[in-house]
Chain A
Amino acid sequence: MLSHQLKRKLDKANNKNLPQTSKTDDDDDFNSDSDFYDSDVDEESSDLTDSEADLSGSDEVDSDDETDEVNTPSKADGSDEVDSEDETVDTGSKPVSTTSSPSIIKKIDEYAEHDTSDEEDIRNTIGNVPKNWYDEYEHIGYDWDGGKIEKAAQRDQLDSFLQRIEDPEFWRTVKDPQTGKEIVLSDDDVKLIKRINSQRIPDENFNEYAPWIEWFTSEVMKMPLRKFPEHKRSFLPSKIEAKRVSRLVHALKMGWIKTNAQYKRLKAKKKDQFYMLWQTDSDAEKMRRIHDHIPAPKRFLPGHAESYNPPSEYLFDERELQQWHKLEETPWKRKLHFIPEKYGSLREVPAYPRYIKERFLRCLDLYMCPRGIKLKLTIEPEALVPKLPSPRNLQPFPTFLAITYEGHADMVRTIDTDKTGQYLVSGSDDCTIKIWEINTGRCLKTIATDAVVRCVRWCPNQALSLILVAAGNKVILVNPHVGDFLINSKTDSLLKDSPKNDTIINERVRATVQWTEPSDTEYDRGFRAILQHFKEVTQVTWHGKGDYFAVIMPDGQNRSVLIGQVSKRRSQLPFTKPKGLVQSVIFHPSKPYLFVATQRHIRIYDLIGQALVKKLMSNSQWIATMDIHPGGDNLLVATYDRKVLWFDLDLSTKPYQTLRLHGTAARGVSFHKRYPLFASCSDDKSVIVSHGMVYNDLMLNPLIVPLKRFEDHKSCNDFGVFDVRFHPLQPWVFSAGADGTIKLYCN
């Protein structure tokens, strides 16, 4: 380290001095010096003692000689050596040593032996290679004769420490990297180093302030030194300069350049760069402006959470903090864009580290973010909910669960009430139908069938006591023998003797259905007639008068709908072409129309005219069932895709209203015969009773208000409620659940 510094300093010092010194000294000295030095190395291979002797010798000389002649070469020499050599510490000492014998130097011819331009330190001949290449060897290099230069004994730290303590000369001992030997610096060397360190000229005898010698006189002499006179152009004004001046003057005139005074004036003027730009507060001058300007939205104002001392509930707890850090990638999802912090006093508040970044982002937003006008809704979500009359004003409607009819062992698929409103019939998956007394909840009768009962319908004709039961492939006409005895016996007698058919039954019909008489045991059970079908029957429905009925077999292709007549005991097939998977059929209450629901459409046929009247689009994937308003102009359709559709037949072929009341597939809908009520049930176990008022005024659209939701049934195999029926007289509703119970809701 020291050596390095020393070298640099020397360099500097010499660069300064060289131009002065080189003039005074003679070149011979300079070159021969180094020569001598080389030879010196040759002879003695740089012995430590020798160099010491040299150093001591130099001391003497220095003190003795005080002439310029001796000192200056040393200076020059020193500089050169340092330039050429790599970091050698003892360089300082060498030039001094050379000065000890100036007389010898002069005797030796300067270029006698070899070229001296390359002044290397050749005590070690390995050249300029890294010294660590010799780390593994005993020697450190080779001397001039090719002999190995032994490494000096390596000392460990302890040794060097001991030496530092014991040796008074330790501080001036340095290691020669060339030879690996230790050299003790002489007093002179130390002095030299000190001078260099304090940035003085290394040679203390050099006079910096020597008197100036004027080689050329500054005085103008009378007589010319040269023998020829001055040229003419030295007396004439310069044309080039005149041109230059004129150019400058022109530039000044044109204002391309300015004088310093002008600049000053301009600067002073700049202070008053502001003036009254707007004369009034609100009057706008007419000028071209940006088209359709959208002002930038203002920044949001801070809330309590941004305070330096917020209420402590605003601080993040551990979970919130974790959440905040988790959203590092998507910072816009964070609920706050900063972490709230609380400081006890104002002096503790540090600068906000993201402040500059935030301002920068705002700048970017101002000029890069696309702007557009977006209307913002200022309404409350409640305003979107339609204003409907309160359910309380729409009473009566069923409000509470009154009776639960229990007894079926399996899912109750279908229910129906008789016309008087006393009895209820239900059909179940346990292959039975049960007759219930509505008011007491008592099961009056259980009639077993052969298969799963899919549909039961009580005859709407009050003079008949008949139930249509769809069980498996059969449709059974059952006389339940409840209620008025007279009617029951009359019904029996009516059905006893089958009317004689003159007409020949069509082959197609015969293949589809066969009317058979029940056996005795069956007759005892109440069966009065049995219709054997070629496919499974899913639904039966009565015509309003109670003589005709319709039967559906969805798998029957073009024979899926069948219309039967009880009085004549015969059936007919109304359609010749299959129209799709028939889901449900109903008769119009007053007109001779038949509604046939396939998967997606509902077709209305005129039975007398034998033509398609209308085709209703349901906009849903799969229709479940439907029911018609007693007025005959409105149709309710339940679909498996959760919707309940209200069709106003006068209005359009599209649903007047789509009610999404249920969470899962809607399975049943029903209108009340007298009250403006309808109900729907679905697999989400709920029965929803709604108000559905149809006005006589054609200008008024039906009013639909959901009134009440019941959720008393239990779910069974993902089925909830299968069927829903109103009481014919009271505003009561029955629901048939998959849990094997029937429930009655009363008002």
Chain B
Amino acid sequence: MVAKRKKKFTSGEGARYITRQGALKKLQLSLKDFRRLCILKGIYPREPRNRNKAQKGRSGIKTLYHSKDILFLMQEPIIWKLRDMKVFFRKVAKAKTTKEFGQMHRLLKQHPKLKLDNIVKERYPTYIDALRDLDDCLTLCFLFSTFPSLEHINHEQFALCRRLTIEFMHAVIESKALRKVFISIKGYYYQVEIKGVTITWIVPHQFGYQPQRGEVDFKIMSTFVEFYIIMLGFVNYRLYNSLNLFYPPKLSIRNVPEIEKKLVNKEALTSERIAGLNLPLHNTVLHTEEEVELDEFPLESSSEEMAEAKKEGEEMNKLKTLFKGLKFFLNREVPRESLVFVIRCCSGEVSWDKLLFVGSTFDEDDETITYQIVDRPIVDKQFISRYYVQPQWVYDCINARELLPVNKYFIGEVLPPHLSPFVDKDRDSYQQYIPPEEVLLRNPNVKLADNDMEEDEGLEKEAEGEEKEESDDEDEPDELKDETVEKLQQNAKKKLSVKTGEVEKEDPWKKHKLEKQEYRLREKMVKNKHRRLYKSMMEGKKKRSKEVWLLKKKRRLIEEKEKAARKGKTN
């Protein structure tokens, strides 16, 4: 008896993957339902190690799913729900065509709903996992909260998105978790740190909704949002719980005019005020314990690390109380929500025009206001007791973690550039361009020199010359010493014929050239195996350094132009 020959692709890479069409057949679902299921369950195609084998030798590029993923989907009770839904929609359609509207309405009332709680738990085994994956969730929820109601999408989604994002922002305010902010041309980036997990999300600029010409399928996005709102809700619940807050949030509303109470129902009244972001939420516990200071454990970690951690902790504390005791007033033209969120995250007090939005706490003519955020060229009536600054100041302060001098941010001033706080601070300056402003920010000592230079150009050149000389001297202190010794000796005994030998200077340029030549020869000894990799890496390096060079050049040209313009003005 001859042993049966093993069929191809029945084990290993070939059996590990299944094409999308195969998956559809196996699950007996339509593509639409499959897509929905994949989005909700977080199933994605995989990139096989060997595509040819994984596709069982078929040509072209197929979407491949892990067969275990598909088996996993097969166990999912939601599949049955999706099938029920299919039946349900058929019933509704039938009632509609036969004009049994009563029946139709009755059916629609019991619209089957997917329960996604278990899926959230399954996809995110721990709370930390959920936090780690919150970036996309928040970005999409914040986007949906700005949408008008759209066709084919449950309008409750938009309202829920708005509610949940507001609640999340409240939690961030209460925990003072904000770390970085950035105004980009796309929107506002916020970075918070919760439980040691950094979460970054984007909120679009105002009036961001534009009808999309068939490029965007809102239904797919809404399927994502369907899952994300459930996830965000549970995260919020736990977040509030850990902050000892009531969930859903509760506010103590005082000073509400009677008319408003009459006109608006209580629910709307609170939800509006919550959306104002300006009032502290109710605590479940009266007194919360004080901040725990870092204890020293000299045995566990090295002292350097400890010091660093301590410094970081101090800086965090500083950021949390950055605006403590300061009162801000927002003019009508500034983005209210963003600024209130940001200022309150740093313990500032903030208010705005009563008519702008509910929830303002003090008026413009309050004398204790320290800063008024203004974004218009001229303000007619100005109080002497406060600074009128542009909104960028607030964001820059938070990124710098200190109160910056306001003089550059006054009304009508040309603002200094707004820099991203997300760039890597330890990067190589040859590989990535660091604008001078950032250098200044990091190292205030440089700032002084630069300021001097700016102030008077006449002195600058001389100073530069001196600096050069000094630097030369510093480079060869030995030489200097030798020379002085020599002079002294010459003065003392001129007759002595013995001379100290001259120090031969090593030309740094020549040395560099030699080293470069040596390196170039050594480069040829790169292993054959690594030759291509090395080449591509070097190319990338070259490209990056070229980019840096280009930016530097552009900067130089701009500065020269500015200088010329300034000179022209003074003359």
Q: In whole angstroms, how far apart are the Cα atoms of A367 and B120 in the complex? A: 16
Contact indicator B63/A277 (Cβ below 8 Å): no
User: With contacts A352-B208, A355-B208 known, is A371 near B216, CB below 8 A?
Assistant: no
Contact A370 B126 (CB under 8 A): no
A295 within 8 A of B: yes
Q: Per a CB cutoff under 8 Å, which of A256, A276, A307, A371 touches B419?
A: A307
Say which one of B469-477, B493-501, B521-529 lies at the interface with A.
B521-529
B35 contacts which chain A residues (CB < 8 A)? 367
On whether A288 and B72 interact (CB within 8 A), knowing A276-B238, A299-B135, the answer reads: yes
- A347 neighbours in B (Cβ, 8 Å): 333-334, 375-376
Q: Are A346 and B555 in contact (CB under 8 A)?
A: no
Is the CB–CB distance between B126 and A283 below 8 Å?
A: yes
B130 touches A302 (CB 8 A): no
Say yes or no: A313 contacts B558, CB within 8 Å. yes
Q: Assuming A282-B128, A353-B210, is B392 touching A302 (CB within 8 A)?
A: no
Binary per-residue interface labels of chain A (306-346) against chain B in the complex, 1 for a CB within 8 Å, 0 otherwise: 11111111100100000000000000000100101100111
Cα–Cα distance between A367 and B39 once the two chains are bound (Å): 6
Residues in B with CB closer than 8 Å to A292 are 66, 68
Q: Does A617 contact B (CB under 8 A)?
A: no
B184's contact among A302, A362, A381, by CB below 8 Å, is which? A302
A346-B392 contact given A258-B109, A314-B551, CB 8 Å threshold? yes
Determine which of A345, A377, A660 lies in contact with B524 in the assembled complex, contact meaning CB atoms within 8 Å.
A660
Instruction: Give bound CA distance, A390 to B110, whole Å.
Output: 82
Query: Would you give the 0/1 interface string for A356-382, flagging 1 where the beta carbon is closer than 8 Å to chain B?
Result: 111110111011111110000100110
Does B43 touch A at the CB level, under 8 Å?
yes
- Beyond A360-B220, A363-B224, whether A349 also contacts B44 by CB under 8 A is no
Q: Answer whether A356 and B208 are a contact pair too, CB < 8 Å, given A308-B185, A313-B554, A709-B521.
A: yes
What's the Cα separation between A311 and B130 when bound, in Å? 37
Closest CB in chain B relative to A306 CB, distance in Å? 4
- A594 to B562 alpha-carbon distance, docked (Å): 77
In the assembled complex, the Cα of A707 lies from the Cα of B224 at a distance in Å of 62
A291 and B208: CB pair below 8 A? no
Interface 9-residue window, one of B199-207, B282-290, B317-325: B199-207
Q: Does B89 contact A (CB under 8 A)?
A: no
Main secondary structure of the interface of A (DSSP, over half): loop
A277-B237, A372-B46 are known contacts. Are A709 and B517 too (CB-CB below 8 A)? yes
- Which residue of chain B is the closest to A305 with respect to CB atoms? B420
A278 to chain B, nearest CB (A): 4
CB contacts under 8 Å to A, within B237-273, are 237-238, 241, 247-248
When chains A and B are docked, how far (Å) is the Cα of A294 from the Cα of B68?
Answer: 14
Query: When chains A and B are docked, how far (Å) is the Cα of A541 from the Cα of B551?
Result: 61
B100 proximal to A (CB < 8 A): no
For the complex, is B453 an interface residue (Cβ under 8 Å from A)? Answer: no
Contact at B45–A278, with CB atoms within 8 Å? no
Q: Is B378 interfacial (CB 8 A cutoff)?
A: no
B45 adjacent to A271 (CB under 8 Å): no
B414-456 vs A, CB cutoff 8 Å, 1 = contact: the mask equals 1101111011000000000101111000000000000000000
Q: Which single member of B41, B121, B206, B391 contacts A290 (CB below 8 Å)? A: B41
Inside 8 A of B207's CB, which chain A residues have their CB? Answer: 351
Say yes or no: B534 contacts A335, CB within 8 Å.
no
A304–B436 CA distance with the chains assembled, in angstroms:
12
| Residues in chain A near residue B14, CB distance under 8 A | none
Q: Which residues of B contact A351 (CB under 8 A)?
A: 204-208, 210
B101: Cβ under 8 A from any A Cβ:
no
Q: Counting CB contacts under 8 A, is A152 at the interface?
A: no
B191 CB → nearest A CB, Å = 8
From B45, B117, B130, B206, contact of A371 by CB (8 A)? B45
Tell me whether B215 and A369 are in contact (CB under 8 A). no
- Inter-chain contacts of B132 with A (CB < 8 A): 295
Pairwise interchain contact A285-B125, C-beta atoms closer than 8 A: yes
- Does B75 interact with chain A (Cβ within 8 Å)? yes
B468 to chain A: closest CB distance in Å?
A: 26
Given known contacts A311-B417, A344-B414, A370-B45, is B233 in contact with A274 (CB within 8 Å)?
A: yes
Known A-B contacts A307-B419, A308-B185, A313-B558; the reply to A658 vs B521 at CB < 8 A is: no
Cα A135 to Cα B408 with chains together (Å): 76
Decide if A290 touches B123 in the complex (CB within 8 Å): yes
Query: A205 vs B164: C-alpha distance in the bound complex, in angstroms?
Result: 63
Closest A residue by C-beta to B115: A273
Cβ contacts under 8 Å, A335 to chain B: 547
Binds A, one of B90-98, B136-144, B301-309: B136-144
Determine the distance from Cα of A338 to Cα of B185 in the docked complex, in whole angstroms: 9
Smallest beta-carbon distance B234→chain A, Å: 4
* Contact call A282/B537, Cβ cutoff below 8 A: no
The answer to whether B45 touches A302, judged by C-beta atoms less than 8 angstroms apart, is no
CB pair A302 B189 closer than 8 Å: yes
Cβ distance A643 to chain B, nearest Cβ, rounded Å: 11
Could you tell me which residues of chain A, from 379 to 398, have a CB within 8 Å of some CB in chain B?
380-381, 384-386, 388, 390-391
Q: How far is the CA of A682 from the CA of B364 in the complex (A)?
A: 84
Q: Are A302 and B422 in contact (CB under 8 A)?
A: yes
Give A356 to B213 CA distance when docked, in angstroms. 11
Assess whether B99 is interfacial by the CB under 8 Å rule. Answer: no
C-alpha spacing A347/B63, complex, angstroms? 45
Asked if residues B375 and A307 are in contact (CB atoms below 8 Å), the reply is no
Set B68, B121, B183: member contacting A291, Cβ < 8 A = B68
Q: Is A367's CB under 8 angstroms from B38's CB?
A: yes
B380 at the interface (CB under 8 A from A): no
Is B186 interfacial (CB-CB < 8 Å)?
yes
Q: Give the chain B neighbours of A388 by CB distance below 8 A.
A: 522, 525
Q: Which residues of A contact B206 (CB under 8 A)?
A: 351
Query: Taking the nearest CB of chain A, how far is it from the CB of B511, in angstroms?
Result: 11
In the bound complex, what is the Cα–Cα distance between A307 and B126 (angstroms)? 35
Output the residue of A258, A274, A294, A308 with the most chain B CB within 10 A.
A274
Query: Please, which residues of chain A bring their CB within 8 A of the CB of B110?
Result: 256-258
Report Cα–Cα, A340/B435, bound state, in Å: 15
Which residues of chain B are within 8 angstroms of A372 by Cβ–Cβ distance? 46-49
What 0/1 readout, one digit per residue, does chain B (116-154) give for beta carbons within 8 Å of chain A? 010011111111101011011001100100000000000
Chain A, residue nearest B334 (CB): A346
Interface: B64 (CB within 8 A): yes
What is the bound-complex CA distance between A709 and B520, given in angstroms? 10
Given contacts A289-B125, A352-B185, A381-B537, contact A278 B238 (CB under 8 A): yes
Chain A residues within 8 Å of B75, by CB = 288
Known: A257-B110, A355-B204, A356-B216. A346 touches B69 (CB 8 A): no
For residue A688, CB closer than 8 A to chain B, the reply is yes
A403 within 8 A of B: no
Verify if B221 is at the interface (C-beta below 8 Å from A).
yes
A228 at the interface (CB under 8 A from B): no
CA distance A307 to B200 in the complex (A): 16
Q: Does B538 contact A (CB under 8 A)?
A: yes
* B66 and A291 contacting across the interface, CB-CB below 8 Å: yes
**A733 nearest CB across to chain B (Å):** 15
Compute how far the CA of A294 lies from the CA of B528 in the bound complex, rounded to whole angstroms.
Answer: 33
Report A97-113 CB contacts with B as 1/0, cut-off 8 Å.
Answer: 00000000000000000
In the assembled complex, the Cα of A294 lies from the Cα of B551 at a distance in Å of 37
Are A304 and B390 CB-contacts (below 8 A) given A291-B66, A355-B143, A355-B208? no
Does B533 make an interface contact (CB < 8 A)? Answer: yes
- Jot down 7 A-B pairs with beta carbons below 8 A, ordered by A: A277-B234, A302-B186, A311-B419, A335-B547, A353-B210, A370-B63, A384-B527
Interface residues of B (CB under 8 A from A): 35, 38-39, 41-49, 63-64, 66, 68-69, 72, 75, 106, 109-110, 117, 120-128, 130, 132-133, 135-136, 139-140, 143, 182-187, 189, 195, 200, 204-210, 212, 215-217, 220-221, 224, 233-234, 236-238, 241, 247-248, 333-335, 375-376, 390-392, 414-415, 417-420, 422-423, 433, 435-438, 517-528, 530, 533-534, 537-538, 541, 547, 551-552, 554-555, 558
Given contacts A307-B184, A352-B187, A706-B522, 13 further A-B contacts (CB under 8 A): A274-B233, A275-B237, A280-B127, A290-B42, A299-B200, A303-B423, A308-B185, A313-B554, A352-B185, A372-B47, A381-B534, A390-B518, A705-B522
